[in-house]
């Protein structure tokens, strides 16, 4: 939106033209689209956080593996089985 358009919209003595209305409607449509995208991102982020919490809970039940390759393999098989 240009400065002149915004100043005309703020001046109560000026008339609102079709161009001014179009600028406002376009801005509203873009804002709605951005809000929808934000909601989709928030939903996806909640899904990822839920998955990470589940993985963390699964890993905590097995305790420390101390870098032993055989111990790690056993724990990985347990995770894959569940």
DSSP string, 17-54: PHHHHHHHHHHHHHHHHHHHHHHHHHHHHHHHHHHHHH
pTM of the predicted model, to two decimals?
0.52
Residue 78 CA to residue 75 CA, distance in Å, equals: 5
List the pLDDT tens digit at each of the 82 positions of the chain: 455 656 666 666 567 677 878 888 898 999 999 999 999 999 999 999 999 999 888 878 777 767 788 888 887 888 787 6
């Amino acid at each position: 939106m240009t400065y002149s358009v915004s100043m005309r919209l703020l001046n109560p003595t000026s008339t609102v033209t079709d161009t001014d209305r179009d600028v406002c409607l376009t801005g509203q449509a873009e804002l709605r689209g951005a809000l929808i995208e934000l909601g989709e991102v928030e939903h996806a982020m909640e899904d990822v956080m839920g998955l990470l919490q589940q993985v963390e809970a699964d890993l905590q039940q097995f305790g420390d593996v101390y870098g032993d390759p055989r111990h790690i393999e056993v724990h990985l098989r347990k995770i894959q089985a569940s």
